[in-house]
Amino acid sequence: MGCPSPNPIGMKAMEKNIIEIKDFSIVSKGNKIIDSISTTFRDKELTLIYGPRGAGKSVFLRSLVFLNEEFLDDIFYSGEIFFESRKVSIKDAKFLRTKIAYSDTSFIEPIESFTVREMINLATGKSSWDSGMGRKASSLLKKFDLLSKLEKGLDSPISAFNSKDRVLFLFFLAFIREPDVIIFDSIMDHLDNQTIDELCEFLVRIKGDYTMIISTRNLNSLVGIADRILYLKDGKIVFDGEPEKFIMEWRS
């Protein structure tokens, strides 16, 4: 069915750049995985990064928070990354991870040994909550259809969630942090169409409050909510523009 489009596709005009990438490449073990990418991500824009398996989507997105070192050996970066006009490097990884919430499905297994409360504390950096924080957590858990599944309340173990609900919990953790930028790396590719449609309705409602970047191999399900599409192939951007133009020129 696919996500609904709240406005004519591509209508939204964005101006402020929150992330800027200049001539950025990544080499691992002598193989160039990302090849001279230059692009920007604008404030309060929802960008869909589309491409086949192996296009470099995850490597590119992990580089925005310098997580590739946990996945790749002998890694070398060239080019520049700017966050809110500030040039950043691997030395700024801790700072970037307070501003950018990155999630992919590799995060699921490590959090299974925690309770919901423990993960909220870790995600927010708060060990004690006021009433406002409690209401916010409950409201978000309800939005993602998780609140009713907490048999032990916030002390319920995450391991009790089924596979779909563990993915939805990653969405919850991203939003409870209230970051400047939210990155969902191929997470929605692991959900059924009905759940994707429900998530799209939620994202449409809040998309003007966050800068969001969503990578996917499933363009049809998500194109309706995107302000912009980046098409990656073999580590290069081969299209960067409005979804309507991409559909007309690349999908015909």
* Residue 3 covered by a domain: no
pLDDT, residue 228, reads 94
Q: DSSP code of 135?
A: H
* Residue 13 covered by a domain: no
CA–CA dist 230, 228 (Å, integer): 7
Q: What's the domain range around 66?
A: 18-250
Helix (H) or strand (E) holding 142: helix 131-143
Counted domains in the chain: 1
Residue entry with tokens 């049809």: 220
pLDDT, residue 251, reads 58
Report residue 172: phi and psi, to 5°. -55, -45
pLDDT, residue 141, reads 93
* Residue 11 covered by a domain: no
Q: Which residue, among 209, 102, 120, has the nearest Cα to 158 in the 3D structure?
A: 120
pLDDT, residue 38, reads 97
* Residue 28 covered by a domain: yes
* Residue 2 covered by a domain: no
* Residue 160 covered by a domain: yes
Q: Helix or strand or coil: residue 25?
A: strand
* Residue 198 covered by a domain: yes
Running along the chain, 252 residues long, what does each successive block of 10 average in pLDDT?
Answer: 50 71 94 95 94 92 91 90 95 94 90 93 83 86 92 93 90 92 91 86 84 90 90 95 87 54
* Residue 10 covered by a domain: no
Query: Which CATH number covers residue 124?
Result: 3.40.50.300
